Amino acid sequence: MERAKIIETTNRFLIDEFEVEPDDIILDENLHETLDLDSLDYVDLVVVIQSHFGFKLTADDFKGVDTFEDFYTMIETHLRKFTQENAS
Amino acid sequence: MNRVVITGMGIYSCLGSNLEEVKNSLYTGKSGIGIDPIRTEMGYGSALTGILPEPNLKKMLKRRMRVGMGQESRYAYMATTEAFKMAGIDDAFLDNNIIGLLYGNDSTAQSVIEGIDKLRAVKDTALMGSGSIFKSMNSTITMNLSTIFRLKGINFTISAACASGSHAIGLGYMFIKQGLQSMVVCGGAQEVNANAMGSFDGLGAFSLQMDDPTKASRPFDAGRDGLVPSGGGATVILESYESAVARGANILAEVIGYGFSSNGLHISQPSVEGPARSLKMALEQANVAASEIDYINAHATSTPLGDKHEAMAIGSIFGGDNCPYVSSTKSMTGHECWMAGASEIVYSLLMMQDSFIAPNINLENVAEEAKPLNLAKTTINHKIDTFLSNSFGFGGTNSSLIVRKFKQ
């Protein structure tokens, strides 16, 4: 999946399921602060990412994710790995 | 001992989504009963149920507040929001005062089933989502409302079958009377969905008169053949008299008596002696004579045995020439189960405010054992100073509350 498609899919579930205002999604803004995430929200992020991309994250995978750009990159990295593992 | 007054109420039921709509339904004798076709597909004997819209809380609450709320919590939220508004409780008051919460609930069937269905599909508990646990626990309503409204006092759920809502109000009354709390949010809620009532239907307890759903619930009528399940949410704001006066609140009424008992007999079969003890205790606690009660909101659910036993219990204490008016609002609402004890206090308060007795609709041929009662077959314009509300539940739990129009 192309990065542009990953970003589009991610933004769609952030808007639809996490009720983020589209205008608040800015590449270098802090994801956690923009979404006002608490520990329970990460459980739901794991669920929604699995449902849209097929792979399952853990809480540790969110370490190092600060901005939206970090978030897209983390998803892209895991998706690539997941796709390769399932192709082999 | 503190006097305990009611300063707010709210309702979300099959008779309407707010107090005004419900009051009009009560006055006109409008039934809220209909058919849920899914129940027939699922194997229910009866597809009858209370029909009410699903509250949409998306514009009212943030996602984090909503994800742990099942249907019964959504109903309770709607009722509690209305009750706080009526009581004049705003955000600043919530933040700066210790307010308790005692709410009746005895199932979260839909949320439990949805959670387990999801687990069976994904085979990974980490993919069930964060809300499932908070929706599925029996205390779901109190954990959600206490969080949403930032309540800082007593906080737990009362599970007492179909007397849950009534006992919640009774316990709130006791906490305030004893001086342990100055304000307690009390109520009851009941989910309304096909997942919640199958096992109850399986007992053959539900009416099968599906040709005309509005006529199926007929408490005290000789032709009654079972109850109609229903639900929603009902909340009252209980407060010490001193607290109400100090903040200049409008006092609607005063709770003056709470009686309770357990039959100590069969798990589902009713008794005369148990409810009679609850009634007598409520009168003694309120320090009023039976002749001072203007209206009894009966528990009567439209089951052959339950109504018969309650009629005999009421008749043994109130029967005779001075029997107060009696009606079962379940003739219009169906049996609101865990919510019923709270909703029927709200219904009776609405009657008290507008001086009328809501009719026991569908009462065409009064059952023999109910003939000593002064049943209101039609709407009666009548002043209510004091009313009594009965609630009984499986396991033989009984609760009777007495409420009086507020006097200095």
Show Cβ contacts of residue B65 under 8 Å, excluding neighbours closer than 6 positions. Answer: B144, B147, B148
β-pair partners for B120? none
| Average pLDDT of chain B to the nearest whole number | 97
C-alpha to C-alpha distances, A62 to A1, A14, A21, A54, nearest whole angstrom: 21, 16, 22, 17
Residue B386 pLDDT grade (very low, low, confident, very high; cuts 50, 70, 90): very high
Q: What is the 3-state secondary structure of B155-216?
A: EEEECECECHHHHHHHHHHHHHHCCCCCEEEEEEEECCCCCCCHHHHCCCCECCCCCCHHHC
Q: Does B126 touch chain A (CB under 8 A)?
A: yes
> Parallel, antiparallel, or unpaired for β B100-104 and B183-190?
parallel
Domain ranges of chain A: 3-87
**Cβ atoms of residues B179 and B2 within 8 Å:** yes
**Cβ atoms of residues B150 and B385 within 8 Å:** no
Pick from B361, B363, B351, B354: which is nearest to B387 by CA?
A: B351
For residue B58, the chain A residue with the least C-alpha distance is A19
- The pLDDT tens digits of the residues spanning B185-232 come to 999 999 999 999 999 999 999 999 999 999 999 999 999 999 999 999
- The pLDDT tens digits of the residues spanning B21-64 come to 999 999 999 999 999 999 999 999 999 999 999 999 999 999 99
The CATH number of whichever domain residue B124 belongs to comes to 3.40.47.10
Three-state secondary-structure class, residue B118: helix
Is A38 within 8 Å of B64 when comparing Cβ atoms?
A: yes
Establish, for the pair of chains A and B, how many residue pairs have beta carbons separated by less than 8 Å. Answer: 28
pLDDT at A87 over 90: no
pLDDT in the model for residue B16: 98
> Parallel, antiparallel, or unpaired for β B325-327 and B374-375?
parallel
pLDDT in the model for residue B365: 98
Q: Residue range B149-164: average pLDDT?
A: 98
Element (H, E) at B305: helix B304-318
Q: What proportion of chain B, given as a percentage, has pLDDT over 90?
A: 99
pLDDT in the model for residue B319: 84
Q: How many domains does chain B have?
A: 1
Q: Provide the CATH number for the domain formed by A3-87 in this structure.
A: 1.10.1200.10
Q: Residue range B319-347: average pLDDT?
A: 96
β-pair partners for B13? B16, B232
pLDDT in the model for residue B321: 86
Nearest to A43 among B62, B63, B130 (CB): B130
pLDDT in the model for residue A59: 87
Q: Residue range B101-110: average pLDDT?
A: 98
Structural domain containing residue B79: 9-408
Residue B320 pLDDT grade (very low, low, confident, very high; cuts 50, 70, 90): confident
Any domain includes B237: yes
Which positions in chain B touch A19 (Cβ < 8 Å)? Answer: 62-63
pLDDT at B304 over 90: yes
pLDDT at A88 over 80: no
Nearest 5°: phi and psi at B303?
-90, 145
pLDDT in the model for residue B408: 83
Any domain includes B309: yes
- The pLDDT tens digits of the residues spanning B237-282 come to 999 999 999 999 999 999 999 999 999 999 999 999 999 999 999 9
Any domain includes B2: no
Q: Residue range B10-15: average pLDDT?
A: 98
Q: Does B59 touch chain A (CB under 8 A)?
A: no
**Helical H runs in A17-67?**
31-35, 39-53
Please tell me the distance from the alpha carbon of residue B15 to that of residue B50, in angstroms, as a whole number. 9
Any domain includes B164: yes
Nearest to B126 among A19, A40, A46 (CB): A46
Told to judge if B337 belongs to the known catalytic residues of this protein, a careful annotator would answer no
Is A19 within 8 Å of B130 when comparing Cβ atoms?
A: no
pLDDT in the model for residue B103: 98
**Helical H runs in B10-138?**
19-28, 37-42, 63-66, 71-87, 91-96, 109-122, 131-136
**Helical H runs in chain A?**
3-16, 31-35, 39-53, 68-87
Please tell me the distance from the alpha carbon of residue B10 to that of residue A25, in angstroms, as a whole number. 39
Any domain includes B268: yes
pLDDT in the model for residue B92: 98
C-alpha to C-alpha distances, B248 to A13, B94, B135, B251, nearest whole angstrom: 47, 16, 37, 9
β-pair partners for A30? A67
pLDDT in the model for residue A1: 81
Any domain includes B1: no
Any domain includes B3: no
Is B130 within 8 Å of A50 when comparing Cβ atoms?
A: no
Residue B88: other Cβ atoms inside 10 A: 15
Told to judge if B335 belongs to the known catalytic residues of this protein, a careful annotator would answer yes
Any domain includes B102: yes
